[in-house]
Amino acid sequence: MTLAKSILCCSLLIPAMTISPAVYSLDAMQLAVIINSNDPLSVQVGEYYAAQRRISFQNIIRVKLPTDRTELTPDEFEAVKRAVDSKTRSSIQAFALAWATPYRVGCMSITSAFAFGYDPAFCEPGCKPTRPNPYFNSPSQRPFAHFGIRPAMAIAGLSFEQSKALIDRGVDADGSFPEGTAYLLSTSDETRNVRSSLYPLAKRVFAKEKIRVFALKRNDIKYVDDVLFYFTGLANVTHLETLGFVPGAIADHLTSSGGRLTENSGQMSALRWLEAGATGSYGTVVEPCNLLQKFPNPAVLASRYLKGETMIEAYWKSVAMPGQGLFIGEPLAAPFRTKKSD
Q: Beta partners for 32?
A: 95
Phi, psi of 61 (to 5 degrees): -115, 125
Query: Is 6 contained in some domain?
Result: no
Residue 315 inside a domain? The answer is yes
Is 20 inside any structural domain?
A: no
Give the pLDDT band (50/70/90) at residue 206: very high
- 146-193 pLDDT per residue, tens: 999 999 999 999 999 999 999 999 999 999 999 999 999 999 999 999
Q: Which residues contact 133 (CB under 8 A, 6 or more apart)?
A: 316, 319, 320, 321, 322
The count of structural domains within the chain is: 1
Does the residue 340 lie in any domain? Answer: no
Q: Which domain does 172 fall in, by range? A: 25-329
Let me know if residue 13 belongs to a domain: no
pLDDT in tens, 249-290: 999 999 999 999 999 999 999 999 999 999 999 999 999 999
Mean pLDDT across 16-45: 80
Q: Would 228 be classed as within a structural domain?
A: yes
- Minimal CA–CA distance to 37: which of 62, 8, 10? 62
Q: How far is CA 85 from CA 75, 92, 94, in A?
A: 15, 10, 12
- The pLDDT of residue 21 is 46
- Is the CB of residue 39 less than 8 Å from the CB of residue 99? yes
Per the CB < 8 A criterion, the answer to whether 315 and 296 are in contact is yes
Q: How far apart are CA 231 and CA 215, in angstroms?
A: 10
Q: Is residue 7 part of a domain?
A: no
Per the domain annotation, does 3 fall within a domain? no
Residue 296 has pLDDT above 60, yes or no: yes
The reply to whether the predicted model has a pTM over 0.85 is yes
